[in-house]
Structure 1
Amino acid sequence: MATQLPGDQSAGMIDRIKRLLISPTQEWPLIDAEPMTVKGIFMTWVLPLAAIGPVAHLIGMLVFGIGFLGISYHPPIGVVLGSAITMYVLALIGTFVMALVIDWLAPNFGATKNPVSAMKVVAFSMTAAWIAGIFQIIPNLGWLGLVGLYSLYLLWIGLPLLMKAPADKAPAYVIVSILVCCVAMAVVNLAASSISGTFIRPPLIADSGSVSGAVTVPGVGSVDLGKANEAVAGLKAATDRMKADAANGTSSAVPVAALQALLPASIGGFTRGDVETQSGGIGGINGSHAEARYTQGDQSFRLSVADMSAAGSIMSLGGAMNMQSSRQTATGYEKTEMVGGAMVTEKWDNQSHSGSYGTMAASRFMVSAEGSAPDIATLKQAVASIDTGRLAALAK
């Protein structure tokens, strides 16, 4: 009779997490062959792991508060508790929604509908993202939460195997599942916040595409499957480096001193002040981070350089998704776009003369500037002041 426990309980959840993060190609077949039920997966895997982020958020906000430009704010406990509960509920709902989407899309890509396998895919893929939620407990380490993007790689490996998707349609299946899940979760969030009562049904995807072509998602755009296929090689290399780091107890992350040396003494009349550095890792996923505050009169912004080490390669998958978004506000704008295969985010408010600008460099480093300045060009100049050639050299 099928067990309701997702994993060998004698080995324990921690052992399975380690194997999944370090050796996913070996662990996914074991998960596939193991008898489970939707309820069992949800009760013994999803419920405890999905709570990590909300609990860490709760503790972090109550203990450290929110810090910005030297100002610290501690939200009321009722507000923080409500936020944490909302995060947890949406995470649980999101798990069900994603499993339904993956199962629903299966026939369109020659895969096999199986609600248990779909739940396995979502629950175990999300493990990295849920574990990374622990970094919310210390606001200054929040940037390390980006290692949760490793879940995309886990999904890339696990979904085709568990849903029995043909090799030529697997890349399209994975990418379209991610995109449709994003649409579905947007609907869930809108409903949960009572912003809109309109029911939005994700469009049926009938174009499965091929590994060398592109798949068109109505209302989203095209996805370059060739670039996605190339990204897999980088993801595989990232996994190998993480395995080596975990086995040897070493870190492939660039030392914080090297990152700190990249921060210029001044930028367009702004003078460098306080400099902060952090480094850390989990399960072979390491990272380092250096940032400095630049001040001119009553304006100041922070310029940061973060090395995601092996996890940075995971973000290269975004280059296959030619997605763009923009939003105009009464006093400014926000936009996200892909430039040269790297995601660039930009935000500016004309009234407060503040905003942010950030991009990826060498498919590994995140460079960003955030704060107040005369214009967005100043923040762009700050990001451009980081020598990408030196970053690329450090990555070797």
Structure 2
Amino acid sequence: MADRIFMSPPDVTAAEEEAVIRAFRGGWIAPLGPEVDAFEKELAEFCGRDHAVALSSGTAALHLALIQLGAGPGDVVVTSTMTFAATANAIVYTGAEPVFVDCDDTGSMDPDLLATALAELAEQGRTVRALVPVDLLGKVVDHEATGRIAAEHGIPVLSDAAESVGATRNGRPAPAYGVAAAVSFNGNKIMTTSGGGALLTDDADMAARTRYLATQARQPVVHYEHVDVGYNYRLSNLLAALGRAQLERLPQMIDRRHAIRRAYIDLADDLGGVTVFGLPDASEDGSTRDNAWLTSILIDEQKSGYTSGDLQAHLAGLDIEARPLWKPMHLQPVFEDRTAFVNGTSERLFRTGLSLPSGSAHDEATIERVCEAIRTFAETPR
């Protein structure tokens, strides 16, 4: 029986193994150490930022940034509805209320709808502490438009770049936008530290405060002294070593994911009612390029004769993992009573979209197995 094909498994090699062994033999098994320091420096440089703080997750990065932007009970934080729950959860951790804004056809926050949302919230006298746009599946948000709208209202932008490390927009790395950006190194991301994330910023005070809060807000004295509530949010030295090896290989891993995407583009061109989501994924001059973290297709049932759910079930029966695009936050039971400005686009993408195996560890034979499974299903008379 063929092995199960996962959607985005970790891509690790001997380089990562050697890095972890190096850290282990260095004796820094305790949470922090020289690998963390080096990883932060290399990551900041790669992402076009002055500072990086390595943390236990991208969620932790969002949480600590929102705290420093003053989010708390009675406040509002505006974010994308087309995202993973971690974005909204981090807002709720602070006591603030998430307000959701729908996307346009790219999957990114709709600037016109954002302008409407901020205008209505201002009329209501609501205090909006931050705007948190989300880079969906590796494509960078239209920060020029959303940033201009936020600036008109005096609202800082915190970029959720959890899915877009390695992507660029107009020559700038994805995490270079906003007063700060949160990135994720979860096991299924474009690069991984097993679990982990980071906060990136040009603000030295924010970086220092993040480190302080992430290490239980311990005061610099011999005994344990605390004047603030802190969190156990730092990345370990061993995992930072893994991250350094992954960061070095990241450009090649992104190229591999784009090659996989091209295979799916060729497949979709041969099938009726199937399109690859998020195209174009790069500008002609190369200044804008998504990282191809996940390749997703959209299925028009009227033209294809089947739904994304039908295809997902077929692939599951062949031990091939595929998932719908994110279920919008305003449809999630835990958030369905929150304020949302919607236009129906995210609901349509959730209903018709399907993310396919996209991991850079997949070889050509594996991707061909996926393509053949899709082709056979699509061509089966109904």
TM-score higher than 0.5 here?
no
Q: Which has the higher helix share?
A: 1
Q: Which has the higher strand share?
A: 1
Q: Which has the higher contact order (CA 8 A, sep 6+)?
A: 2
- Per the normalisation by structure 2, the TM-score is 0.28
